[in-house]
Amino acid sequence: MLPLQCFMQRVSKQPKAAYLHQPVNGEWTTYSYSDVASMARKVATGLIERGCEKGDRISLISKNCAEWLIADLGIMMAGMVSVPIYPNAGVATIEHVVGHSQAKAIFIGKLDDYTAVDEALGECDRVTFGGYAKEGVDTLTDWFSRFAELQEPVMPLPDDLWTVVYTSGSTGVPKGVGLTYSNIRASSQELLSDNCDVEGRHRVLSYLPLAHVAERAAVEIGSIYADVEVFFNESLETFVSDLQYAKVTQFVSVPRLWAKFQAQVLAQIDYDTLEGLLQSDDGSTVSAAIRDKLGLGHCKIFVSGTAPIAPALLAWYSRIGIEIVEGWGMTETSGVGAANIPFDPSRLGTIGIPVNGLEIKLSEAGEMLIRGDSVFSSYYKSPEATAESFEDGWFRTGDKAEVSTEGVWRIIGRVKEQFKTAKGKYVSPVPIESLVSACPLIEQVCVTGSGQPQPYALVVLAQGVSASNEDVEAELDRLLEDVNAGLESHEQLSGVLVVQDEWSILNEMLTPTMKLKRSNIESAYSRFSDSVRGVRWADSVVA
C-alpha cells in the first residue's frame, strides 16, 4: 500500500486518534487524523483552484511544523510533486531549486529570516503559514476557511513521482533527486521491518529538517505506516522541554548533537566520577537519571546518522543504557541504506548490514555500490549526471568502504575527500576524524593537509572548554600521541589546530545536513597550514 492510501485508511479506521502535536508559545495543539485529512483536502482544492495541475511541482520552505506535513499531504492529494527546500537556504539555492524544478507555487512557513525568500522568489505563487504574512498573499488559514475539501484525492501509482529533493551540495550545484512513491514506500517499510516493538503507539519529536528525505521517511511517511504520534519542536530553546513533553519512544539524531548531550552530562559530573558511579551498585539508577534528564527516559530506539560517529561515543552511551544504532543512507536511496539493526555492540563504528530489500557491494576501486527498491532511478532533468552515477544498474554512492566476512560494512570516507600529501601518499580523513572526535573535549574535527608533509586536524572544542586552560592543551597533546600510535606513518597528524569558530550552516562551514564543507573549512584556515605542529591555537576567521 502506498503512503497516501495508507493515510486515508488511518483516517477511515481511527479518525479521532491523535496524530500531530504542535506547540505555539508553549501551548500544545493536537490534530487528529481526521483534522489533518480535512485540512490537507482543502490544501489540494486550493492548489487546483490556483491553476496547478497533476504533476506540477510545488515547493515548501519552512521549519518543521504540523502545517508542513499538512501542506505536503495536500500536494499528494492533488497529484502534484513536492519540492522541499531547507529553511536556512540562501538566495542562490532557493532560486536554483525553484527555477530548475519549475515550481508552480511555494508554501512558506516558519523561518528565522525571510530576506532570502523575499529576494529569491520573484513571481512564484506563494501561500504562507506559521506567522509569516505578506500583503496580497494567501495564508493556509485563508484556504482552510475558503475552500471545500477535495472529495476525490488523486491516488498515485507506484511509479509516479512523489518528490524532487535537491542534494545539499557540499560541492557543486545541488542536483534534484526524483523519488517515486514506490521508492519511499520501500524506504519506510525497510525501516519499520527492522524496528523493535514498543507497548502502545510510538512517539517521535520532529526537529531534523523535513527537507531531508531521511526525516520524511522516518517521521512523515513512517508515522503513516506505523501509526506514530508526531510532536514538533518549537525552538532551540524549548528542545529539551519539548522532548520531555513528547515522551519519545524513538529518537533520531546526528553525531554532533549526541556529542553535545554527552558534553552537557560531563559538565555536571567529571568523566572518572561518572564512570565510578556507573560501575557501582547504583549504576542503573544513575543511568536512568541521566536518560530522564536528557528527555530520553521513555525512549527505546536511538539512531545516529548523516555522518560517522565515534565508536568511543557510542560505547559511552551504551554504558548509560542508550544503545545507538548507527545508520547510513543518502537522498538517492530515499534516506535508508544500512544500519546496525538489530543493535550489536560488536559492530560499533560500522554502519551494520544492508536493510531489508537492499543490496550493497564494492566496486574494484573500493567504492560502495547499492541497488534496491528504495534507490532512485534518475536525477531530475539531468540525464548526464544520471548516467555517470550508475554502473550496470548499481548506484555509485561515492563512499569508500570495506566489508567484513560477516557482511558488516564500514565507511572509510568519500572518494572525493581523499587527499594527497607532499610525499605522494593518499589519506582518507574520515577514519582519522573518528579517532580524534572520541575525545570529549572536541565537538567538531576536520582532518586536512593536501600538499603538506603530513595531515593535521582542525578542531572545535566543546562548549564550556576554556581555550586558555593548560590542562586542555596537555590533554590534546596526549590525544595526538594516542591517535598517531594507531596510524600508518603517512597518516600520522603533525598537529592539532584549535579554532575559535563553531562551524555551522550559517557560516557555510556545514551543509544543511550537517556535513563538513571541507573546501570552505580548509580555505578559512589555509594560512595556518604550514605551521601546525603539536597543539596550536588559531584566532577567529569567521566574520
**What residue ranges define each of the domains in the chain, with the CATH number in brackets?**
250-297+300-415 (3.40.50.12780), 418-537 (3.30.300.30)
The whole-number pLDDT of residue 225 equals: 94
Q: Do residues 299 and 284 lie in contact, with contact meaning Cβ atoms separated by under 8 Å?
A: no
Place of cell 529553511: 87
Q: Do residues 192 and 217 lie in contact, with contact meaning Cβ atoms separated by under 8 Å?
A: no
Half-sphere exposure of 238 (CA within 13 A, CB side): 18
Region class of 118: left (phi > 0), else alpha (psi between -120 and 50), else beta? alpha
Coil/strand/helix, residue 385: helix
Whether the CA torsion 395, 398, 402, 406 is positive or negative: it is negative
Q: Which residue, 188, 539, 530, is CA-closest to 355?
A: 188
Going residue by residue through the chain (543 aa), what tens digit of pLDDT does each one get? Answer: 999 999 999 999 999 999 999 999 999 999 999 999 999 999 999 999 999 999 999 999 999 999 999 999 999 999 999 999 999 888 989 999 999 999 999 999 999 999 999 999 977 899 999 888 788 899 999 999 999 999 999 999 999 999 999 986 555 678 999 999 999 999 987 666 545 555 678 999 999 999 999 999 999 999 999 999 999 999 999 999 999 999 999 999 998 899 889 988 988 888 889 999 999 988 899 999 999 999 999 999 999 988 888 888 999 999 999 999 999 999 999 999 999 988 999 999 899 999 989 999 999 989 999 999 999 999 999 999 999 999 999 999 999 999 999 999 999 888 888 888 988 888 989 889 989 988 888 999 999 999 899 999 999 998 877 555 788 889 999 999 999 999 998 999 999 999 988 998 888 898 887 888 898 999 999 888 888 899 988 875 554
The whole-number pLDDT of residue 135 equals: 82
The whole-number pLDDT of residue 543 equals: 44
Q: Do residues 472 and 387 lie in contact, with contact meaning Cβ atoms separated by under 8 Å?
A: no
Packing angle between helix 255-268 and helix 311-319, nearest 10 degrees? 50
The whole-number pLDDT of residue 196 equals: 52
Q: Do residues 210 and 88 lie in contact, with contact meaning Cβ atoms separated by under 8 Å?
A: no
